[in-house]
Amino acid sequence: MSFNMTDPDQITTSNESAKGGKAVIEIKDLYKSFGDNHVLNGFNMTLLEGENLVVMGKSGSGKSVMIKCLVGLVKPDSGTVKVLGKEINTLDQQTLDELRSDIGFLFQGSALYDSMTVRENLEFPMRRHKEKLGVVSDTEPLVREALENVGLAHTMDLMPVELSGGMKRRVALARTLILRPKVILYDEPTSGLDPITSKEIIELMRSIQKKYGTSSLIITHDVDCARVISERMILLVDGINYAEGTYSELSKSTDPKVDAFFKK
């Protein structure tokens, strides 16, 4: 795998990229404020099929707000958000829930249900999507497979409090994968983890992408993570997509706001 060797010329920001893929996520002119706090001021982004796109930004720049707009957890003030060809904010509840089963969302803090065991955590998303998976009663093989994918099959009957931060993140990833999403949204997958565990998580993300061919949107402020995994990057500064390009392009930029991200 040589993500950072990708020829910069081949990747453009338009829909007809080198991959020739169609857009799975399209954000146009996204605005969102909380009172006087103008978080997003016309953000644009396109995620292509099969692509790994990294969005970087400072803490508090609105990355989580942006990614939550993609699954309808936050309602934007204006702008359009299209996921898998559907405009998120016009869907009725049922269609929205169906669409959500195609979108995996890894929360910043893992968000495991702490009153349930690991097994129940993984079974939870299947409650409403039995038809999609075609399972009638026995969910055990699916749970086991998802946990094996992240190397934690032995934790099946533990409670989340009994897991370390890194293990929680991996279980959360397994829970995200269990519905076989077409797109995965990672909200800071490595935040709060030590460098070694971060690497493990990143490896996991790559192996999952290879195995299932999902498109991934990765939010991070971890430059190393971005370097390893990104095919293309967007910098979110002042509520807009301030700069776009590959890691090597952006890291050579002389713009002070861009450069600030890559300074050691």
Partner 1 sequence: MGNTSTLFKGVKEFFVEIGDLSHFAARFLREVLKPPFEFKELIRQCYQMGNRSLMLVTVTGFIIGLVLTLQSRPTLIQFGAVSWMPNMVGISIVREIGPVITALICAGRIASGIGAELGSMRVTEQIDAMEVSGTNPFKYLVITRIMATTLMLPILVLYGDLVALYGSALVENLKGDVSFQLYFNTVFDALSFSDLVPATIKSFFFGFAIGLVGCYKGYYSKKGTAGVGIAANTAVVMASLLLFVIDFIAVFISDIFYEL
Contacts of residue 199, defined as CB under 8 A and 6 or more positions apart, other chains included, come to none
Q: Whose CB is nearest to Mg ion?
A: 64
Binding-site member from 129, 206, 221, 227 for partner 1 (CB under 8 A): 129
57 or 125: whose CB is closer to ligand ATP?
57
Binding-site member from 21, 41, 44, 124 for partner 1 (CB under 8 A): 124
Which residues in 222-251 contact partner 1 (CB under 8 A)? none
Q: Residue 64, interface with Mg ion (CB under 5 A)?
A: yes
Report the length, in residues, of the chain.
264
Q: Residue 109, interface with ligand ATP (CB under 6 A)?
A: no
Which residues in 32-71 contact partner 1 (CB under 8 A)? 68, 71
**Alpha helices, DSSP H, located in the chain:** 63-69, 93-100, 118-123, 130-133, 140-149, 165-177, 195-212, 223-229, 247-251, 256-262
Which residues in 176-215 contact partner 1 (CB under 8 A)? 179
CB contact at 8 A, 153 and 144: yes
Q: Which element (helix H / strand E) includes 48?
A: strand 37-48
Query: What is the rounded distance in angstroms from the CA atom of residue 88 to the CA atom of residue 91?
Result: 6
Q: Residue 73, interface with partner 1 (CB under 8 A)?
A: yes
Q: Residue 37, interface with ligand ATP (CB under 6 A)?
A: yes
Q: What is the DSSP string of 5-17?
A: GS-GGG--SSSS-
The dihedral over CA atoms of 180, 182, 186, 190, expressed in degrees to the nearest 10, equals 60
CB contact at 8 A, 220 and 205: no
**Residue 2 touches which member of partner 1, Mg ion, ligand ATP, none, C-beta under 5-8 Å by kind:** none
Q: Whose CB is nearest to ligand ATP?
A: 64
Q: How far is the CB of 115 from partner 1 (least distance, A)?
A: 8
Q: How many residues bind partner 1 (CB under 8 A)?
A: 24
Contacts of residue 178, defined as CB under 8 A and 6 or more positions apart, other chains included, come to 122, 125, 126, 142, 143, 146
The dihedral over CA atoms of 68, 198, 207, 233, expressed in degrees to the nearest 10, equals 50
**Residue 37 touches which member of ligand ATP, partner 1, Mg ion, none, C-beta under 5-8 Å by kind:** ligand ATP
Q: Residue 19, interface with partner 1 (CB under 8 A)?
A: no
Site of interaction with ligand ATP (CB under 6 A):
34, 37, 39, 57, 59-65, 108, 221
Site of interaction with partner 1 (CB under 8 A):
68, 71, 73, 93, 97-98, 100-101, 103, 105, 107-109, 111-115, 124-125, 127-129, 179
